[in-house]
Amino acid sequence: SDRERLRQELSHARQHGMADELTGLPKRDTFVRQLEAEIGRVKRYGFALAVAVIDVDNLESVNKRYGRPAGDAVLRCYAGQILSKFRTYDLVARYGGDEFAVLFPNTQKDGAMHALEKARKSASGTFINQDGKNIPLPSFSSVLTQYSPGEPAAALLQRADETLSQARLAGYNRMVVALPTA
């Protein structure tokens, strides 16, 4: 029933321009609205809420070496194969150019880290076929953060974005946890 409900919501999103054309995933605005709704549920019921921002490592080099269609194929592969393996009620969205965001409702840090690690392992053994060439899927770096009671959605996302920017400077294939400060 959850899966059917999500299919209907995704269909509705596509019909109303809320889905990214390349990946078919919800756009950033839709993700933010759902995050705000989940924060409301957390306030009412006290559930945990984790959010991850994922950056495909060095996508620019794929575009330069194999062409833009290969880079697009990488993003579609992440959307359709790698990130689609999260639970049906986790929301995966296209967050930016080479970024995705994942909303993990009712999930503690350890559970979300485990899910991200499974996605990382899946990506490391995946290839895309572009113009007869098998191209290894680039790794990804991610930031995982946990909602803190009373925190606005914008502050949670800003913390994730800033931490991801810092992590990029340190290299590729990283998972960083950015917990709220007390």
The single-letter code of the amino acid at 14 is R
Residues facing residue 104 across a β-bridge: 50
pLDDT at 15: 61
pLDDT at 173: 92
| High-pLDDT (> 90) share of the chain, % | 79
pLDDT at 177: 93
Only one residue has tokens 């113009």, namely 131
pLDDT at 78: 97
pLDDT at 182: 59
SS3 83: helix
pLDDT at 14: 61
Token pair, residue 25, equals: 């995933």
pLDDT tens-digit readout, 123-143: 999 999 988 999 999 999 999
Q: Is the pLDDT of residue 171 over 80?
A: yes
Q: Is the pLDDT of residue 116 over 90?
A: yes
The single-letter code of the amino acid at 68 is R
pLDDT at 16: 63
Q: Is the pLDDT of residue 17 over 80?
A: no
What is 97-142 written as a DSSP string? SSEEEEEEET--HHHHHHHHHHHHHHHHT-EEEETTEEEEPP-EEE
Confidence band for 23, pLDDT divided at 50, 70 and 90: very high
- The vertex-112 CA angle with 26 and 166, nearest 5°, equals 80
Q: Is the pLDDT of residue 180 over 70?
A: yes
